[in-house]
Structure 1
């Protein structure tokens, strides 16, 4: 029990610096991408933080598997360099028993990554796309005070005064099927709901003028929409329906398989942790970090190739090939010595 606690304490000392470093670097990359959006839309500090929060699941997904795998290797390599693994082995903890100690935590981590990647990332992507569509629609809408010839949807619009999203003395006019429609309002507020703009007119009159009659309506509030949007395709409700909809239509299959295979990377690479972490410092050099980085690159290249070419079949082909290959490497290096 004490050895188990000691191993996890050493793992935490390795994991936190690596994870925080990668998290910081990845956050900077995403923040730069968000900042580039300011050339198209205007966002304040709160909205910047909101957009960044939508990227957090992706940042965690991209950083945690690599951080955890490298941390495991570094932990065992450090113990090897200080001859502690030799002492631990002398107490009866061979490499497979040490692997079993780390297995439950690695399993929970991989399952959590599956939930984050398959469950949270589609939701946050949808929220970000909705937010950006809303802001872009608002950016394209720029009615100026005291100017003629401006339009809001099908309406010609003229305003006397503008303050942010609040307007004063508004006139709206349009002709439709031989009927002239003229609306006056003392005040108006622009609303933007998921990229659909509408004016809420306050305290005014509406006139409907035909060839033989004139109708007048006095109102306290009236909503005028920019346009009626017919949404087609899938409306996001939850991750299960999202993937069911896309997979049955053959879209986003490579994303789905990549998410799962990347999430499983720490779990199916445990034999590599033993193979890279165990070495005799008297006769061998510590190459654990270099070997770990090479393994990460190879796995991601294989994963990308299989997800692009064999679709859902990569979910069992990639783990099977990886486990067989890593176990073979383990038997040829660590197993025969320890």
Structure 2
């Protein structure tokens, strides 16, 4: 029991620094992506923090499998370099027993990553898109005075003065494919917003309709121009099962689902590689465990990414079987027959 606790404590001392460094780097990448949104919409500190919180499952998902696998390899290689694994082996804890020590925690990590990727990431993605859409709506009707190039739906709009949602000296222009142009002027106007459905109420003005051979003019007291703010189509999120059930027929979504599953179970199906790379005799062998671990991670992703896009769900059992057999073969060839 004390040997197991010792191995796990050594692992935790290695894992957390690696994970925190990768977490910090990945967080910066996501924060830059979030900051780029501010060129379109206005966000305060609280809203930026909320969007970052929605991206936390993604950050953990992309950093946890790599840091966990590399940390396990480094832990065993460090113990091997300091001759501690030789002592551990002399107490009866051979490579197979060491596998059993790390197997439960590896299984829990892979299971947690599955829940995170398949269940939580779609939910937070939906909440993030919903928030961005709402902020885009607010930005869309933030019309400023004395500025050209602003739009209200299909209309180009120019106003001289603005007081909250009251506008003075309003000009609207729209051109259509059939060669008909429309130009509207109004002394004042009011903008109403009902859950993204905008109504521009123009008062005391004129409307001009330009065609190839004639011009029509209409004088009006009150005119209503209605528009619905455009937004990206977001399917309401109910639960993870319904979410993936609706998207399982889409090639892109099948590839994403398969990638999520394969990335989540990577630590579990690579458990044999941990012992194969970390278990060595420092008197006769050089410590190349980190290089082997990095190469394994790169190989796994290079295999998974194209296969998930080409064969979809079949890539899950195919890669699991291939990677597990390959890992066990390397373990048997390098460690099991010696120790």
Q: What is aligned with 1:215?
A: none
Q: Label 1:19 to 1:151 Cα distance change in 2 as closer, same or farther (>3 A).
A: closer
Q: Label 1:28 to 1:229 Cα distance change in 2 as closer, same or farther (>3 A).
A: closer
Looking at structure 1, the residues matched to 230 and 67 of structure 2 have their Cα atoms a distance apart, in angstroms, of 45
Q: What is aligned with 1:176?
A: none
Q: What is aligned with 1:64?
A: 64
Does the 8 Å contact 1:159/1:167 carry over to 2?
Answer: no
Looking at structure 2, the residues matched to 122 and 229 of structure 1 have their Cα atoms a distance apart, in angstroms, of 22
Q: What is aligned with 1:310?
A: 311
Name the TM-score, length of structure 1 as normaliser. 0.79
Cα deviation for residue 285 of structure 1 reads 0.9
Q: What is aligned with 1:44?
A: 44
Cα deviation for residue 144 of structure 1 reads 3.8
Deviation per residue, 1:117-169 (Å, 9 max, x gap): 1111111112222222222333232334599xx9866999989653xxx4458
Q: Which runs of 4+ in 1 moved over 3 A?
A: 144-147, 150-161, 166-172, 187-191, 228-234, 248-251
Q: Label 1:228 to 1:50 Cα distance change in 2 as closer, same or farther (>3 A).
A: closer
The farther-off stretch of 38-47 and 274-283 is 38-47
- 1:153-168 to 2 correspondences below 5 Å: 161-162=162-163, 166-167=164-165
Name the TM-score, length of structure 2 as normaliser. 0.79
Deviation per residue, 1:26-71 (Å, 9 max, x gap): 0111111111222222212111111111111010000000000011
Q: What is aligned with 2:143?
A: 143
Q: Label 1:71 to 1:171 Cα distance change in 2 as closer, same or farther (>3 A).
A: same
Does the 8 Å contact 1:271/1:327 carry over to 2?
Answer: yes
Q: What is aligned with 2:322?
A: 321
Does the 8 Å contact 2:140/2:229 carry over to 1?
Answer: no
Does the 8 Å contact 1:14/1:71 carry over to 2?
Answer: yes
Looking at structure 1, the residues matched to 72 and 335 of structure 2 have their Cα atoms a distance apart, in angstroms, of 16
Q: Label 1:153 to 1:290 Cα distance change in 2 as closer, same or farther (>3 A).
A: closer
Q: Label 1:302 to 1:169 Cα distance change in 2 as closer, same or farther (>3 A).
A: closer
List alignment gaps of at least 5 residues for structure 2.
171-185, 202-224
Looking at structure 2, the residues matched to 228 and 55 of structure 1 have their Cα atoms a distance apart, in angstroms, of 26
- Aligned residue for 2:228, secondary structure, equals coil
- Aligned residue for 1:40, secondary structure, equals coil
Does the 8 Å contact 1:157/1:170 carry over to 2?
Answer: no
Does the 8 Å contact 1:161/1:168 carry over to 2?
Answer: yes
List alignment gaps of at least 5 residues for structure 1.
173-181, 202-223
Cα deviation for residue 225 of structure 1 reads 7.3
Q: What is aligned with 2:119?
A: 119
Does the 8 Å contact 1:76/1:85 carry over to 2?
Answer: yes
RMSD: 3.5
- 1:1-338 to 2 correspondences below 5 Å: 1-144=1-144, 161-162=162-163, 166-167=164-165, 196-197=196-197, 226-227=227-228, 234-338=235-339
- Aligned residue for 1:248, secondary structure, equals coil
Looking at structure 2, the residues matched to 313 and 240 of structure 1 have their Cα atoms a distance apart, in angstroms, of 19
